[in-house]
Structure formats: C-alpha cells, structure tokens
Amino acid sequence: MKLALIGDIGGTHVRFALWQEGRPDALRVLATSDYPGPEEAIRTYLAGLDLPLAALDTACLACAGPVQGDLFRLTNNHWQFGRLALTHALGLRQLLVINDFAAMALGMTRLADHERLTVRPGRAEAGSPRLVLGPGTGLGVSALLPDGAGHWRVLPGEGGHVDLPLVTAREVALWQLLQRELGHVSAESVLSGSGLLRLYRASCLLDGRTPQLDSAAAVSAAALAGDAGAAAVLEQFCGWLGRVAGNHALTLGARGGVYLAGGILPHFAAFLQGSSFARCFVDKGVMSDYLADIPVWLATAEQPGLLGAGLALQAWSERSSA
C-alpha cells in the first residue's frame, strides 16, 4: 500500500509522520542541523520505520517561511530545496509544500475543548476570521477565513516580521538597544526562542545587571522559580506578544477569536494567563472596544502543525482526484 508522508519543518526540528486514516501516525522528530536538507532527513525517517522510499506516494511539507515558486528556503535554518527536484528524488506522485503556520491554522480547526486554555475570555463571533500566531524558533502568523459553507480557508503570511510596537518609555529604551544590535527590530526579534534570550540580555544591559542566564528555557525557568529580573523579562515578553496579537487582530478583523500556538508558550501557560497579555491585547485607544469581546486561547494539542499538514494533503488529494 502506498503511503502519505507529512512533515512540519521548523527552524530547529522537523517532525515527520505518516498520514493514515485521517490522523498522523509513526511520529519522529529530527534535528534539522543534522541533515543537509529534507531528502536526507526523509530517508532517515523511512529507514527508522524499515520502509523503502518506494513506499511513498504523496507528501505534504509544512515549512517555516514564505512559499513562492519552486525553490524554497527556510527562514531560520540552512535548508533549501526545489519542489520538483525533491518530488523526483523521492519518487513521489505529488508533493505539496505549504507554510508551516498555514498548517498550524488548519490544525486549530480540529482542536477539542480540552486542547486549549483560555488566556482571555470573550465571545467568538460566528462567521468572522480567526487569527493564529505563536512564538517558536520564529514567530508564525496565519489566519482562518470562513468560506460561508461551514469550512475554513487559510490565509498565510509573514506577520512575524512586522515592526515591534513601542508604547512605553521602557519599550523605547529596549528597542534602542536591540536596534543597535540588529538594525531592523521585528516582532520576531523578541517574540521567539532566541528573542526571549535577546530581550533578557537587553534588559540586563538597560538595568545595569550582569546576565546570568544563557538560554530562553533558563530565562523562563528562572521566572517561574521566582527570580524577579527574569520574571520582569517574561512579563515584558507577554505584554509585547499581546500588543502584536492585538495589532494583527485589528488588521484582520479577527472577531472569531485568536489562537496562540508554537512550542514556547505552553511551558509558562499559567504565567501567560496572569500576565499583562490580555491588557496589552486590547489597549488600542479608540479601537479598544472593538477588541473587547475577542477570546484568546492557547493551544495545548500535540503536533497541531502535523495534523494541519495532513488535512491540507487530504484536501489537495481530494481536489486532484475530483
């Protein structure tokens, strides 16, 4: 029996699974740094399952970066590939390549109630767009648009690279330090794994403290353990995430709700729920009332990006055979 492969390729890890009976199966996680490109990683994945390359028929790869034309370059790692060349190298009948947060958005359409936490209560407006964003290796942003027939269309984008919004004097001071280091300071510059560490170091410099922590995980762990300096950094991170989410919700008209996803936030979910995220999300001057009823949820489901990749492949295959 010919098999369908699904992959969720981020900046740090790639997750592969087989799409069987409407769900991911045989999940494996590999480090992208261990392979020159997706072909070699896929061969390793299949070898680990004792499957020959010829077992594959179709595949969908959800990739972190803009999907345009045949050549794809990932934004936050060294991988690049041509869709047609990879299709031939793997002997596939069909290869679909989509944005990773387009897949994440599709995954949100299958969330069960127990797979999400409420970050900000509200009332989802039926028939309105929904926003999906979240920090991981980068900051992914996508949208779900209702099609009027009970289904959702995905609107991918690169909203993680918008300018970082500045409201308070401290945010301006932090931005000045970040701008000296980076030039352009995008939302992703702060709202990502490397960004949290960057924010911590800039905060230490601004406050005259010597940095003691060397990873995003260490910063969040110290914050949760009661370290006042790390907690202030994590609070700033959550507030900035709220501002960026609110900006995108205004632009999109996301009265149907906002999903927060990605690999970072579940590690400090309770902190996020008690942070200034909700206040900063709605703090938009004359448009604050527009955002007042929009609910925000944190997705806690396992591998929603892979699920979304499978759903995209399934829908694409159905259209191709129609």
Known binding-site residues equal 7-12
pLDDT in tens, 176-185: 999 999 999 9
- Grade residue 1 by pLDDT with cuts at 50, 70 and 90: low
pLDDT value of position 319: 77
Q: Which long-range contacts (CB under 8 A, 24 or more apart) does 221-229 make?
A: 223/268, 223/271, 224/268, 224/271, 229/203, 229/204
Average pLDDT score over residue span 81-100: 93
How do the domains of the chain map onto residue ranges? 3-99+303-321, 112-300
* b/e burial code for range 250-262 (CB count within 10 A of at least 16 → b): eebebbbbbbbbb
pTM: 0.91
Short-list 56, 32, 42, 106, CA closest to 301: 106
Mean pLDDT, the chain, rounded, equals: 94
CATH T-level topology, domain 3-99+303-321: Nucleotidyltransferase; domain 5 (3.30.420)
Q: Is the pLDDT of residue 66 over 70?
A: yes
How many percent of the chain have pLDDT more than 90? 83
Report yes or no: 313 and 96 within 8 Å, Cβ to Cβ: yes
Q: Which amino acid is at 201?
A: R
Q: Is the pLDDT of residue 260 over 80?
A: yes
pLDDT value of position 322: 58
Domain 112-300 has CATH 3.40.367.20: yes
Average pLDDT score over residue span 153-157: 91
Q: Is the pLDDT of residue 136 over 70?
A: yes
Q: Is the pLDDT of residue 107 over 90?
A: yes
Q: Is the pLDDT of residue 42 over 70?
A: yes
Short-list 13, 65, 72, 82, CA closest to 41: 13
pLDDT in tens, 111-132: 999 999 999 999 999 999 999 9
Known binding-site residues for ATP equal 7-12
